[in-house]
Amino acid sequence: MPISTTQEQHLVDVTRGLSSLSLCMCSIVIITQLSFRSLWTLSFQIVFALVLNDMMFNTSFLYGDASNYGEESSMCQFQAFSVNYFLVCSIMWSCSASYLIDIVVSQSLQTSQNRHDGFSPTILRRKMFVVCQLLPIIPSVM
């Protein structure tokens, strides 16, 4: 059963409202992180990148239904790209946070032998940036 035009407009309004709420919460997280610069570790940087991507993802929903401009319009294509790109980036940053937790837990469980010799947060941060920010461009453009 297809939805009516008014039901579709209600869904767009609800999406805008929830995206606005999410943007407010993301802003609180960013302000909190910037207030405590002394704690600016790799895990804080991963959470910061995740929150920035979520903010951009939610911003793309504030445009409303961009297909009203026409499905071939630049606004519709920009919204489609931003929704796809920032969603994939957020998922990748979440996986990176899980990977970092795995590294921390496995290092703390191994007392006699450290299998992560030569662990460099700077190199890991650069690799995570390439994987989480640059790699999602490929499926988003296709």
Angle at 136 between CA 66 and CA 53, to 5 degrees: 65
CA distance 69 to 91: 29
The pTM for the full model equals 0.80
CA distance 101 to 33: 19
> For residue range 53-74, what is the model confidence (pLDDT) as tens digits?
999 999 998 887 777 788 788 8
Q: How many CB atoms lie within 10 A of CB 25?
A: 13
Q: What is the pLDDT of residue 74?
A: 87
Angle at 17 between CA 52 and CA 23, to 5 degrees: 15
